[in-house]
Structure formats: C-alpha cells, structure tokens
Amino acid sequence: WAIITIFKRGLKNIAAKLACHKAVRGREQLNNEELSHLIAELEKTEAPDKCPHGRPTRIFFSLYDLLKMFKRK
C-alpha cells in the first residue's frame, strides 16, 4: 500500500505542476468570452479558491476595502 500511496502522491504533484504551467499569467489579457469560460471551469473544480499547490486563485474585497484602497473612505 505504501508504493500505491507514493505513486498517487507523485501523480498529484505532476498534475499540479502541469496545471500551474498552463495557468493564465499576470500580463495575459483575456477577452470577456475567455474570462467567462475560465471562471465557469474554475467553479466546477473541487477547490475553486486554491490552485493545486494551495495558493489562492482569487481574492474578494468588500466595498469598504475598495473604497479604502482608492482613498475614497
């Protein structure tokens, strides 16, 4: 059973690396259709708020936070 566990862990790590390498990068621009499709696909995942490595995929701001960031409050 230990070998199976190690094998599964290895496969998971490979899948995580592939997913991150295929990710949209910070300077890439998406049109509205691409963005909508990406969000729809993200929502279908088991953990849409995290990448396979556990890093956040999105963050949420309250209206107060946004106003504060733009010095409106």
> For the residues of 25-71, what is the DSSP string, one character each?
PTT----HHHHHHHHHHHHTSS-TTB-TTS-BS-----HHHHHHHTT
In whole angstroms, what is the distance from residue 27 CA to residue 4 CA?
40
pLDDT in tens, 9-50: 888 888 777 766 667 777 888 899 998 998 898 899 888 998
pTM: 0.55
Q: Which one is predicted more confidently, 53 or 60? A: 60
